[in-house]
Each structure stands twice: as structure tokens, then as C-alpha cells.
Structure 1
């Protein structure tokens, strides 16, 4: 899978998962809460609307009941007055005019009254005032010998008033009709008040028609600008009236039973939905699939009747959940934007990450192809930088291992060469040694014979013997190098041996005006041949003295590392040419002037250290000087050479935390660490 695709998937997951949680968790929860809050708010509004409607109806009932108690009404309806009316028609006419004028005056003061009329106990309208104007009686009652307006004995509201036990009977909320075939007048509610005597006998009925405008205005004002619709719907056992709109902002949809239309709330619902509404408690809600929500509250305007009014608020789901819809759209847009940003960032991040990786891969490939000088040199602080620096460390370790391998190979070659040279030198030494002994003997005899006769010749013979002796010493050095004399092992203190050797060379050091600095731990107990090892120390220190200029320093240190004694001698001389490093342990090899050395010191020292199971190493020091490191086992060497070298420490010449004592007079310093 490409790196940019991995980045894209990771970034998409990291950014989209929280948004999906927000979308399908938080937003859905918010939608539920908004629905609940909306329902709670609208139910509160419905309570307010129901309270105002009930207040209007109760107020109108109180008006009707109060009118029935007015003296003008009571006197006109009195049964005692009926007999007087028969005897004196003028009295009836006078009382009727008084009642009619009262109706006119009262209607002018209470404009919500559409009509007032008084019916006798037979159902004939005796006095009627409609919309502030009296209605002239044109019909004559033969029995009672009086005029009347209309006969309402067959009307339900009159019949209900005769049978009702309550004080005020409320009729259905409906359109008024003057005469058959005429246009309907606005909606109204009719209140019937039976007027009874002391024996609870009906003397007459007061009819009060109230305009429905107050109810309409209450419904219109109740929403307060809320973007919804408010209705009053009748729930009735009468199929003609069940589900009709008593109030609708579109007046054409009201009172479907009277105008012959099919506009009903029940028609906008399924049968099950409407039945659930009819049988539900006082509060309820209905969510339609078409996006409409209905919240309703029931009102019971008729105390002893199953008919109920349903006050309904209809709102659109899109409006209520508009914030949720906008939030969802915003989240989807944000998701799309994040996908684009993630893609762009993935491409950019992949390029930024791949570039240093490709650089590192190129460096590794070039190194593998033989360009061993190349290194990772970027200063990156990230994981790529760590990998690059690890590559540099690996290369350094490989080069160090290669250098050590080369040194080991050179040491093996040198050891084999020295062994061959030693065998050859031993044979030559024995062959030369015998003639030298003969020459020495003959020169001595000749000297004895001529020392009195020819002193000059005798002196020459003496000089000859001296040169022969010198040659013998050289031959003896060769033999000592060639033959592997076993060391005489015993326990001794290497620190004391170093100090003793420095005491022997004290005069040479002082004469050469060399400053000697020692850092030797004490004690340095080990097992070895102190005489042979002192010869090694003398040879190496003399070489350092001869190589060092005046007023320079020679550093000598001694310590124990991993069961090995390490002695290091460091001078500040000119150093050794790289071409001569591999030859320094060869017999007769020397860089000194002719006559200043035989070239056997380091060869002999090499053999002694080797027979002790140790190593001797010579390194060129930058900028000038040579460091000789002697590593010897603390215990007598009983293991083979490979095992000894495997456990042997690398002599680094490091300094311990020790004190330095300097003798300025002798220019010799010594350090003892206990």
C-alpha cells in the first residue's frame, strides 16, 4: 500500500470518526431533545389557548345566566303576569317594549352578543333583538291573543332547555342561518337559559347568541407569530360533526357539516390515527410521514355531553428540526472538506517523509556500492534522523572492526615473519659465533706475543678483540631473540618494577632534560619474570628518551583492566613513518643513526612479552609522538594465545582520577594510587 494512501486512511479515520460520533450520536440526541422541547413548549401554548377558550365560554355563560336574572326578564316571564296579559293586552305590550329596549341597550354595550330573544314555554319567540335591532312580531297567537316573531318549539336548543337541569345550556358551535336558503352568518354559540318559577316550572327560555369572533381572535393570537397552524376540531359521537373544523384560518374549511364540504381533520389522518386521537388522554401528539406534526389538547365545553373540542397546533417537521438539518448539512460539508484536506495533507506528508527516507536509502545504497566515505549529515530530529545517525554509527563500527582486523592480520604476519627470522638468525648466529671465538682466541695470542715487540700492533689486536666482542654481543642478541627461554614466573609488583626501572634510567632522563610524568596505580600485583620484563621497560623507555626533544614530556601509566596489567609509554617525539610501522619489530631494523643502536631492542621485547602471554602494540599519535602499550595477564599465562587475546583489553592510554607529584629538581614525577 503506498505511503500516501496509508496517510490518507489514517487522517480520514482520525478526523471523520469524531464527526460521525457527533453526527449519529450527539446530533440524534439533540434531535430528540428538540422534539421533546418543542412538544413541551407547544403543549404549554395549548394549555394557554384552552384556558382562554374556556374563559371565553365561561364568561359567555355567565352573561347569559346574569341576563336571565334581570328584573325586566323575570317580570316579563312571570306566570302571574300571563293572566294579567290576557285581561290587559296593553300591559303585555308595555312589558314587551320594556324587555325589547333592555335587549337593545344591553347588546349595544356588549358587542359580542349577536342576538337576544325570549321564548315562552310553548316555544314562541315573543321578543327578539338581533345585531342591535328589534325584530317585529308578525305572527298572531290565537290562544294567547298576542303577536310573536317565530315558533322555535321544534328546535333542539329549545327542547334541551326544557329538559336540562343545569342553569345554562350551550349549543353546538356553528354557523347561524336566518331563513332557509339564505347565506350562513358568521359562527356563533347559542346559550339557552330556562327561566323557572318558585315551583321549578319553566316560565320561558332566554336565548343568547354570542359571536365566535372572540374564539377566532384567541386562536389567531395564541401562536404569537409561531410558524404553524392552530385549529379547533370537534370530537363527537355525531358522525356529521365528528372531525369538523370549528376554527381554521381558511374559513372555507370550517363547519364542513353545514357547508357540505369534506374538510375535516379526521380526513387528513388514517382511521387508526384518528381513533387514537379520539380515545387518547387530554394531551397528545402525532407525527405524520409527510413531515407534519400535530400537537393537541382536549377541552370539554359541554359538562354533560360526550362532545369535546380538540385544540390543535400543526407545525412542519422541517421548521422544528431546521437547526438539526443545518447542523447535519454542516457536518457533511465539513466531512467533505476534511476528506479533501486529508488527501492533500497525505500527499504532502508522504512527500515530506519519503524524501528523507529516499535520501537515507540512497546513502546506504551508495555505501554498499563502495562509496565508503559517504555519511548521513542531515540534522533531522525525527526517527529518520535517528536512523541516519544509527547508520553512521554502524559505518564507524564497521570501519573500526575492519581496522582491528587489519591490525590483527598484520600482527599475525609479523609474528610469522619474526618466527622465520628468528629461526634463520639462530642458525646464522651459531655459525658466526664459532669463528668469532677463534678470532678472539688467536687475537689474544697474537697480542701476548707482540705486545712487547710492537706496541702498535698489540693495540690493534686489542681493538680487534673489542670489535669481535661487539660482534659476539650482537650474535648473542640474535640468539636470545631466536631461542624461547622460559620466563622464571613469580609474583611481583609491576608498579615497583616501573619505579625501579626509572631509577636505573634516572641519569639518562636527567641528561636528556626530559620531563617524566607517571600515573601508575599501586600495587599492580602480577605473575611474571621481573628481570625479563624490566629489560622490555628499559628498551622502550630508552627509545622514548632518544626520540624525545629536550624539555618534552614522557608519560608513563600503569593500571589493571579485566585481569590484565596495562603499561603505556607515550613520548612527544617525531613519531614513526606509516611505512615503518610494520617493520619495527623486525631484527636489526632501526631508524637511529648508524652506531646508535642494533635494532634488536624491540624484537627482543616482543619475544619476552609474547612468552608472558601478553601483547605489545605501537601506535602513532597525532600530532606527534608514539604510544607503546604493553598488556600482560595478571596471572601466569596457562591458556593458548587465541584465548589470551580474546580476553585482553585494548590499551587506550586513558587517565584515572589520580594525584600527580612532580619533582622539578629531578624532572621526574611519580603517581601512586592505592
Structure 2
């Protein structure tokens, strides 16, 4: 409990917005203005903790307090003034984080709004960043101490030490690059496009990298499945899902990619013939830095970032039940005619 309180303090200190911490049953674990040195929100007349019930009542989903989402809130102060807020909820290892962004005086165009959403998402990753960067740094420190203790280290020890240093430095750089790239909303304009264009571009990349030499691809396209958004960002979603699927199958098996229209939405499913996701881990797969891979092939950020991009486009990513393998479904709203 003490470790969790310290972790919450780190997140509160790093976040520019008020934050609520929720447990797996929707219970309130903490609020950023619980701290004695916390400054009250400008013009507000109610502590953040006392506003939790109002915010929780606005959330949606089968288990609202555990469903990643962004929703709007309007509150009336005792003075009669209206407070317009945007709520961003994301899953964590203890339950969920809920960031509250005051938009009462914001008159920002969509690009700035998207940048705010990206920064909010990064706020949820702070705790994971501290943990993931500390581990390789600790390993690096130990290796350096061992090498320094040896006046004339053997070539074998030197080679092993340098290799370990290279691996840990690469991991830190991978994490840093992914977070920096994600934090920037590019200048790429949003437009209508057939979602299969993004799928085919992602398939081209994995083919070019030789990841599908021993994989049978079963493809079902729908040229009329048109969405609105950034084709480059949507392509990143499919690229992450394809790489995960191919790694799960160790490069051998059957990969099914199907596109279809469903009412007002578009669905693209990516199904593999790998071992699937264990039931006990299904609720955590979209957490930043969480991974089921036992090796160092990824940063654990792919699904988390992909889900953030889908949410920005008004959609989501779902892990669906399957008799075998894993089935991920990207759901996006159809573009208006």
C-alpha cells in the first residue's frame, strides 16, 4: 500500500491535470488534490474526491470504470457558472486512472485538441516509464561496476558485458523513441480513405521484412469500408497487430485479416493461429509496458499506443473470443457519405 501511495504521488507530480485513481471494483483509491500541498482548481468549489461520483456516472461500457474512453462532463458550480471538462480514463495494473481536463476556456482547433489527448495519454504511462527505464539502468550500473572491479577483465567477460550494455541501451532508446513519436500529432491531414488501404500498406511492410515467408494469409477485403482520419496513424494500428500476430505464431501458421462494414462502423479483424491470450491476462493487454512475450522483442507499448490511436479516431480495439489463437478487432466509425 505504501509503494502504491508513492507511485500515485509520482503520477500526480508528473500530470498537469487533476487525476483520480480507481480500483478494480470502481472504488476510489486516491485523488491528486488529497495532497496537503495541492492547489485547488481555479474557481472550483468542490474537492476532486467529491466529484468522483459525478464523473463515474458519465462513464460507459460493460464495466465503465475499467473501459478506456474519453467523455465530456458539464458541471454547475454554486455560483451558477458551468464547468466543461473532458475525462480520459485508461486501464492500469491497479484498476484505472481518470484524468480531468478543464475545457471551459478552451477554444482550440482539432489539431491542438488531439495534441492535448496525446499528452493526457502519456500521463498515464508515467508510472510504467519509471519502472521500465529503471530496470535496464540498474542492470547497466551493475555491469559497469563488475567491469571496473576487474583490473584486467578477460575477453569473454568484456564481450558479455558489452553485449549486455548494448541490449539495455537499445531497450531504453526504443522506449524513448516510441514515446517521443507518439507524443507528437503529425501534420498529416485527415481525410476519407478505404481502411483496406491502411491494411495493405501494413501487410506490405511485414512482407518486405520477411515476416510472412511461412505464413498462410487468408484475406477478406471490403472496398466500400471507408473511414475518416489519418491513414498513417491507422496503418500503425494494423502494423502493430500484424507484428504481434506473426510473433505469436513464431512466423508459421495461418493469419486471417478480414474487413467488413457493420452498421455505422467498420471492423477489421486480425486473427492468428498462435497460442492465444491466457484468460488471466486478457484484462491487462492494453496497459502500457505490459507484454506476454518472454523475450525482448518489444517494448510493451504497441497495443497501448494502437488503442490510443483508435480512441482518437472515435473507435476502439477489442480482444474477442476465439476457439484458437488471438482475434483482435479494430472498430472505427464509417465516414459520412
Match of 2:326 in 1: 626
Work out whether residues 614 and 632 of structure 1, in 8 Å CA contact, stay in contact via their aligned partners in 2.
Answer: yes
Q: Are positions 1:570 and 2:271 aligned together?
A: yes
Uncovered stretches (5+) of structure 1, i.e. residues with no partner: 1-403, 444-455, 637-674
Match of 1:538 in 2: 239
**Which of 599, 616, 620 is matched with 2:317 structurally?**
616
Provide the rounded CA distance (Å) in 1 between the counterparts of 2:313 and 2:271.
Answer: 22
- Specify whether residues 558 and 422 from structure 1 end up closer, same or farther in structure 2 by C-alpha distance, changes over 3 A only: same
Shift of 1:517: 0.5
TM-score, normalised by the number of residues in structure 2:
0.52
Please report the RMSD computed on the Cα atoms of aligned residues, expressed in angstroms.
3.9
Match of 2:335 in 1: 635
Provide the rounded CA distance (Å) in 2 between the counterparts of 1:463 and 1:549.
Answer: 24
Shift of 1:634: 2.7
Q: Are positions 1:584 and 2:282 aligned together?
A: no
Corresponding residue SS for 2:196: helix
Shift of 1:412: 4.5
Q: Deviations along 1:607-644, whole A, 9 cap, x unmatched?
A: 1111111111012312x1221111112339xxxxxxxx
Match of 2:62 in 1: 406
Match of 1:605 in 2: 306
Q: Are positions 1:510 and 2:187 aligned together?
A: no
Q: Deviations along 1:3-31, whole A, 9 cap, x unmatched?
A: xxxxxxxxxxxxxxxxxxxxxxxxxxxxx
Uncovered stretches (5+) of structure 2, i.e. residues with no partner: 1-59, 70-87, 98-120, 145-156
Match of 2:90 in 1: 416
Provide the rounded CA distance (Å) in 2 between the counterparts of 1:409 and 1:426.
Answer: 20
Corresponding residue SS for 1:501: helix
Provide the rounded CA distance (Å) in 2 between the counterparts of 1:554 and 1:565.
Answer: 20
Q: Deviations along 1:408-449, whole A, 9 cap, x unmatched?
A: 55424994335748415348859979xx9xx9xxx9xxxxxx
Work out whether residues 195 and 227 of structure 2, in 8 Å CA contact, stay in contact via their aligned partners in 1.
Answer: yes
Provide the rounded CA distance (Å) in 2 between the counterparts of 1:553 and 1:459.
Answer: 38
Shift of 1:552: 3.0
Corresponding residue SS for 2:256: strand
**Structure richer in helix, relative to its length:** 1
Work out whether residues 487 and 529 of structure 1, in 8 Å CA contact, stay in contact via their aligned partners in 2.
Answer: no
Provide the rounded CA distance (Å) in 2 between the counterparts of 1:587 and 1:460.
Answer: 29
Work out whether residues 222 and 259 of structure 2, in 8 Å CA contact, stay in contact via their aligned partners in 1.
Answer: yes
Match of 1:175 in 2: none
Work out whether residues 532 and 608 of structure 1, in 8 Å CA contact, stay in contact via their aligned partners in 2.
Answer: yes
Equivalent runs, 1:201-216 vs 2, <5 Å: none
**Which of 244, 262, 287 is matched with 1:561 structurally?**
262
Corresponding residue SS for 1:514: strand
Work out whether residues 495 and 558 of structure 1, in 8 Å CA contact, stay in contact via their aligned partners in 2.
Answer: yes
Instruction: Give the greater-gyration-radius structure (CA).
Output: 1
Provide the rounded CA distance (Å) in 2 between the counterparts of 1:627 and 1:604.
Answer: 18
Which runs of structure 1 show a deviation greater than 6 angstroms over 4 or more consecutive aligned residues?
Answer: 430-433, 456-463
Work out whether residues 495 and 521 of structure 1, in 8 Å CA contact, stay in contact via their aligned partners in 2.
Answer: yes
TM-score, normalised by the number of residues in structure 1:
0.28
Aligned length: 212
Corresponding residue SS for 1:632: strand
- Specify whether residues 429 and 522 from structure 1 end up closer, same or farther in structure 2 by C-alpha distance, changes over 3 A only: same
Work out whether residues 313 and 332 of structure 2, in 8 Å CA contact, stay in contact via their aligned partners in 1.
Answer: yes
Provide the rounded CA distance (Å) in 1 between the counterparts of 2:64 and 2:281.
Answer: 17
- Specify whether residues 462 and 617 from structure 1 end up closer, same or farther in structure 2 by C-alpha distance, changes over 3 A only: closer
